[in-house]
A and B are shown apart, each in its own frame.
Chain A
Amino acid sequence: MREVLANLIAEKAEEDSNFIVLSGDHGYALFDPIRKRRPSQFVNVGVCEQLAVSLSAGLAKMKFRPLVYGLSSFIPLRVVEHIKLDVCFQSLPVVFLGDGAGLVYSTLGASHQSGEDLAALGALPNLRIYSPSDRYELAISFKEAFTESTPAYIRIGKSDRAACHTSELSSTNPHTIVHSDNRRKLLIATGSLLSPVSQMAKKRNLHCISVPRLRPISKSFVQEILKFEEIFIFEEHSSHGGLCTFITNAIISAGERLPLIHHFSLKSIFTKLAGSYQFALSEHDLSDAQLDNRLSEILDAPRSTQAASHLPHDSLKNDSAEFLK
């Protein structure tokens, strides 16, 4: 996926002389092709992420098409206010690319791990948001982000997961990865978790959809989701503000009733220990093996028959100190 990204960047530079890449001293070999083929269209601004965002706004006002690159802990998380005011307020056509999202940097700790970037951006007006899972989704997300005239964020997580597509895509609309005639249960995933989730879906003959574009979400996708009784949502992001939030907000906006949803996401904790990527995921119960076990437990469990109407009317009076996470 990184090699594809490096070539996408270099090819875009050759295709469009207004294209310009700003990096806050991150990326290293990723930029070898553009630096070799179009050196004047790459600027390492230094370790100055907020400056990179503001410079991009100034360049966009001068009719350039900037790509601002950084690790997602920094672009966008560190510089959200600059994205809001300098770029989104005027809806300038700047594309932000947040690399290493989620727990990719499993050995480097909280500074480089990023489970909050989507939540930080989700409330900003005018911003499109992409979360490609493989090189095919990355290519179409990249292309679409630069076709549109509004700001966009592309989130890239673990880049060496197995590809779920086999050929080029024509849109960033949700794609069916595994088709099943079982219309009761639907698995929805984005980014790095699509690969293990698609395997789980195949194994159980469950319908599985990938969502490379998180914002905006179409009405037709909402209607497709509502054909199912039980939804399983997977993302390597906080439970707040990511794929699940975008989907449930879309259903609420459509005036529809929410289906039963099981959400597999990062816990609201910082990882405590160093280790492999799978180890870091395991602290959040999201390793490939844990995902598989957790899904089985839900699918195999007898369905609760207790309806909300059976709860006491004054349940708030008996509120305890037990909080949901």
Chain B
Amino acid sequence: MKELNPKKLRKTILDFAYYGQSVHIPSAFSIVEILSTLYSKILTYSHQDPASEKRDFFILSKGHGVMALYACFIELGWLNETDIKNYFHDGSRLRGLAEADIPGLEVSGGSLGHGLPVATGMALGLKKREDARKIICLVGDGEMNEGGIWEALLFAAHHKLDNLLVIVDANQFQAMGRVEEILSLESLPDKFRSFGFDVLECDGHESSAIENSIQKLFSKNKKPKALIARTLKGKGVSFIEGQNAWHYTRLTKETYEAAGKELSLA
């Protein structure tokens, strides 16, 4: 496994966003430590082959955060610098939402509420084959508005899919505002527990807390697992953090340089 540096990942996300003039920067920033921990400490995978038959499966259900995953893939060698410079250019291969035809992206997550149900089917498949590999699926708290998410939680608990870990990027925002103001979710841990999950909460920007929580969850059997990762949307750049308008804002030369400077100093 390679150690992925969150600061470097955020800088790469900025590069993708600037060269592609992409929005959704805060959605990517909030999951950086979750992804860096997964690819540094948790997941089994092959640097040579993202489709290795021996890999664990990571599913980005909240496809809007895909630039964070692209940044990981740059570090792992599954994407290259050209993919950054050409992001969104005519004929380039990377889209602004997770699409499953990119090696390393297991499921299309652009339409919310799809990734977790598909991941649940994958977990069922592994169980039936008595295959010990893990399925880890990252959903957004806003995404949890979708009914399909709750269908999948019911199913995973009923079928005791203890090879499935659902991580919630609880950054408290969805597209048009605060989750609590649009469709209240709390108490998320209680909801997961009542569905039959083993649940832990942690600071979603503390790598050691994320790692310890996941290891602890996977040490238990018979229940699917959920980790509520409390995060800050836009984490890492002061003028983006907690500012929902940045969900739709593109970087200018000035904001790109200012954000880059903050990350360099952090």
For this complex, 10 residue pairs linking A to B, each with C-beta atoms less than 8 Å apart, are A46-B158, A51-B117, A54-B117, A58-B119, A59-B122, A62-B129, A89-B99, A89-B100, A89-B101, A90-B108
Q: How far is it, in angstroms, between the C-alpha of A157 and the C-alpha of B175 when the chains are bound?
A: 42
CB distance from A46 to the nearest CB of B (A): 7
Q: Mark B104-139, 1 if CB is under 8 A from A, else 0.
A: 001110110010011111111110110000000000
CB distance from B18 to the nearest CB of A (A): 29
B100 touches A54 (CB 8 A): no
Main secondary structure of the interface of B (DSSP, over half): helix
Interface set of B (CB-CB < 8 Å, partner A): 99-101, 106-108, 110-111, 114, 117-126, 128-129, 147-148, 151-152, 154-155, 158
Report which of A40, A48, A64, A86 forms a contact with B118, defined as CB distance below 8 A.
A86
CB distance from B133 to the nearest CB of A (A): 10
Given A40-B128, A45-B155, A59-B125, A54–B120 Cβ distance below 8 Å? Answer: yes
Q: How far is it, in angstroms, between the C-alpha of A81 and the C-alpha of B148 when the chains are bound?
A: 12
CB distance from A162 to the nearest CB of B (A): 39
- Cβ < 8 Å to B, chain A residues 77-92: 81-82, 85-86, 89-90
CB distance from A163 to the nearest CB of B (A): 36
Q: How far is it, in angstroms, between the C-alpha of A62 and the C-alpha of B78 when the chains are bound?
A: 22
A58 touches B128 (CB 8 A): no
B108 touches A86 (CB 8 A): yes
Q: How far is it, in angstroms, between the C-alpha of A20 and the C-alpha of B159 when the chains are bound?
A: 16
Main secondary structure of the interface of A (DSSP, over half): helix
Report B-chain residues with C-beta under 8 Å of the C-beta of A86. 107-108, 114, 117-118
A51 touches B108 (CB 8 A): no
Q: How far is it, in angstroms, between the C-alpha of A50 and the C-alpha of B148 when the chains are bound?
A: 7
Considering only CB atoms, which chain A residue lies closest to B116 in the complex? A54
Report B-chain residues with C-beta under 8 Å of the C-beta of A89. 99-101, 108
Report B-chain residues with C-beta under 8 Å of the C-beta of A56. 121
Q: How far is it, in angstroms, between the C-alpha of A59 and the C-alpha of B100 when the chains are bound?
A: 15
- Cβ < 8 Å to B, chain A residues 89-111: 89-90
Report A-chain residues with C-beta under 8 Å of the C-beta of B121. 54-59, 61-62
Considering only CB atoms, which chain A residue lies closest to B59 in the complex? A58
B117 touches A50 (CB 8 A): yes
Report A-chain residues with C-beta under 8 Å of the C-beta of B154. 46, 48
Q: Which of B101, B120, B123, B151 has the most CB of A within 10 A?
A: B151
Q: How far is it, in angstroms, between the C-alpha of A43 and the C-alpha of B100 when the chains are bound?
A: 26
Considering only CB atoms, which chain A residue lies closest to B57 in the complex? A61
Report which of A40, A55, A82, A90 forms a contact with B120, defined as CB distance below 8 A.
A55
Report which of B114, B126, B129 forms a contact with A54, defined as CB distance below 8 A.
B114
Considering only CB atoms, which chain A residue lies closest to B125 in the complex? A62
CB distance from A10 to the nearest CB of B (A): 18
**Chain A count of residues within 8 A CB distance of the other chain:** 24
Report which of A55, A57, A63 forms a contact with B155, defined as CB distance below 8 A.
A55
Report A-chain residues with C-beta under 8 Å of the C-beta of B158. 46
Report which of B117, B120, B155 forms a contact with A46, defined as CB distance below 8 A.
B155
Report B-chain residues with C-beta under 8 Å of the C-beta of A62. 121-122, 125-126, 129
Report B-chain residues with C-beta under 8 Å of the C-beta of A45. 155
Report A-chain residues with C-beta under 8 Å of the C-beta of B114. 54, 82, 85-86
CB distance from A214 to the nearest CB of B (A): 26
Considering only CB atoms, which chain B residue lies closest to A55 in the complex? B121
Report B-chain residues with C-beta under 8 Å of the C-beta of A43. 124
Report B-chain residues with C-beta under 8 Å of the C-beta of A64. 125, 128
Report A-chain residues with C-beta under 8 Å of the C-beta of B119. 58
Q: How far is it, in angstroms, between the C-alpha of A20 and the C-alpha of B118 when the chains are bound?
A: 15
A48 touches B151 (CB 8 A): yes
Report A-chain residues with C-beta under 8 Å of the C-beta of B125. 58-59, 61-64
Q: Mark A227-242, 1 if CB is under 8 A from B, else 0.
A: 0000000000000000
A51 touches B151 (CB 8 A): yes
A81 touches B128 (CB 8 A): no
CB distance from A95 to the nearest CB of B (A): 15
A54-B118, A61-B122 are known contacts; what are 7 more A-B pairs with Cβ within 8 Å? A43-B124, A51-B152, A54-B152, A62-B122, A85-B110, A86-B107, A86-B117
